[in-house]
Amino acid sequence: MEMNLIPKQPTLDNFAQAFTKIPLFRFILNSFLVAGCITLGQIISCSLAAFALSFLDFKGKNVIFMLIMATMMVPGEATIISNYLTVSGWGWLNSYKVLIIPYITSAMGIFLFRQFYLTFPKSLYEAAKIDGCPNLVFIVRILIPLTKSAIGAMAVYTFINAYNMYMWPLLVTGTEEMRTVQIGISMLNSVDSQSITMVIAGVVMVILPSLFVFILGQKQLIRGMFSGAVKG
């Protein structure tokens, strides 16, 4: 059997058919909206939590941090049913909030920001407090400009993970208007429109956005992941 890596008659019909068979643009838009909101939410919530665990002194701080880290050892499959029953009872199914709010924070993000903040001398925070700088102003005007690499790494890591979510959107969405791209792309392989070339064309279009984000932010991702690894 002869295999040809380069097609004899190149065509873009499969890409056009992928958009006509399913509302692929709607799926991509949903994924971008969900992934963008999750990324922004995790950057805000994780940076605030890491600030408290790094600069503030209160009882049980280390215990709270250990409990947060312990959640990383719990697989998502162990809690997905209880989470589904909870959001179902609240009437959140088939909505943007059920796709976004459960992932608005993460232990990984808190750990990343905390390790980065620990590289800063605590005297920086103490000097700001002596000058009468509130905590939120200290975070916005001092910490955020100094942690651009960590924010970039967190943004790339979170966006790609949120964009590629599959199991949770499959459970909590039921209409085409709310489907994300990873769920919607499987509709190209239905019985009435089964075409391997069209499926591959759809997969290529789905991969391109996340690949583009990774290429743009790979330097920030690597720099941010290693910036808090060595304290000196």
* pLDDT tens track, the chain, 232 positions: 455 666 677 767 777 777 777 788 888 899 999 999 999 999 999 999 999 999 988 898 999 999 999 999 988 888 899 999 999 999 999 999 999 999 999 999 999 899 889 888 888 899 988 888 899 999 988 888 888 888 888 888 899 899 989 899 999 998 888 989 888 887 776 645 556 777 777 778 788 777 777 777 666 666 655 554 444 4
CATH class name, domain 15-70+92-227: mainly alpha
- Rounded CA-CA distance 98/219 in Å is 32
The total number of residues written for the chain in this structure: 232
Q: What is the pTM of this model?
A: 0.84
DSSP state of 92: -
Q: In this predicted structure, what is the pLDDT of residue 226? A: 57
Strand, coil or helix: what is 66? helix
Task: Provide the Cα torsion 120, 126, 132, 138; round to 10°.
Answer: 20
- Rounded CA-CA distance 16/25 in Å is 11
Q: Which stretch of DSSP H or E encloses residue 184?
A: helix 181-184
DSSP state of 178: T
- Of the candidates 142, 113, 103, 104, which has an alpha carbon nearest to the alpha carbon of residue 53? 113
Distances in Å between the alpha carbon of 223 and those of 47, 126, 152?
Answer: 17, 27, 9
